[in-house]
Chains A and B, each alone.
Chain A
Amino acid sequence: QSVLTQPPSVSGAPGQRVTISCTGSSSNIGAGYDVHWYQQLPGTAPKLLIYDNNNRPSGVPDRFSGSKSGTSASLAITGLQAEDEADYYCQSYDSSLSGFYVFGTGTKVTVL
């Protein structure tokens, strides 16, 4: 039972911009905890895509960007490419009894 809600799917044509929302609450994103994003290609382990709300690890293209406001965060992909077709998950810390790390419900990005 994820406490971070994402849309199940988003789609876009090559070259377009898509955004994925991640909605939390006052015990996680709204409490000021950082949001991180992961990309999971089919059959592979998740890969860190954005850390601390809006930072890209070395090697991640600048087509990927993150933002955070209030109890929500967003991941944007500009100039969508075929290889971006994957599942995307947000992650944060939650201070409630369920404790520690929580992941979003996940979003499937489809490149049309």
Chain B
Amino acid sequence: QVQLVQSGAEVKKPGSSVKVSCKASGGTFSSYAFSWVRQAPGQGLEWMGGIIPIFGTGNPAQKFKGRVTIIADDSTSTVYMELSSLRSEDTAVYYCAREVDVTGTTSMDVWGQGTAVTVSS
């Protein structure tokens, strides 16, 4: 049974960066793609970007290009998402999710528990 376990809650200052981790267990890490999705308080889901570990390079959504870096560490089966130049609007719960396949058009069948990031001065 695949599980995704994310790092703990963070409180950050505006202008700083945050790095959230997502460790996969119970499955073949490199065979899948992973996405990052965030949810601001009381708002809907927003896709931020994804990565296919065997290809190495993360692919941020257009909105986040220049601010989001997504990497994968095969040796620890962990995916990371770093968001820079934080502003108050980045306060949200950040989820990692495993995609069903690597086609890039698929669903997300396993989700992490979420990591709350609060940006406040």
Q: What residues of chain A have their CB less than 8 Å away from a CB belonging to chain B?
A: 2, 33-34, 36, 38, 45-48, 51-52, 57, 89, 91, 93, 97-106
Contact = CB atoms under 8 A, between A and B. Distances in A.
A31 B109 CA distance: 23
Nearest to A87: B44
Interface stretch (B9-17, B45-53, B73-81): B45-53
Given A36-B107, A45-B95, A100 B50 contact: yes
Contacts of A2: 44, 46
Contacts of A36: 106-108
A89 B44 contact: yes
Interface residues of B, number: 25
Interface stretch (B23-31, B82-90, B111-119): B111-119
A38 B39 CA distance: 14
17 contacts: A33-B105, A36-B106, A36-B108, A46-B108, A47-B111, A48-B109, A51-B107, A51-B109, A52-B107, A57-B109, A91-B108, A93-B105, A97-B62, A99-B61, A100-B50, A103-B37, A103-B46
A51 B118 CA distance: 32
Interface string B35-60: 10100000011110110000000010
A106 B107 contact: no
B108 A106 contact: no
Contacts of B71: none
Contacts of B44: 2, 89, 103-106
Contacts of B97: 46
B103 to A, nearest CB: 9
B18 interface: no
B104 interface: yes
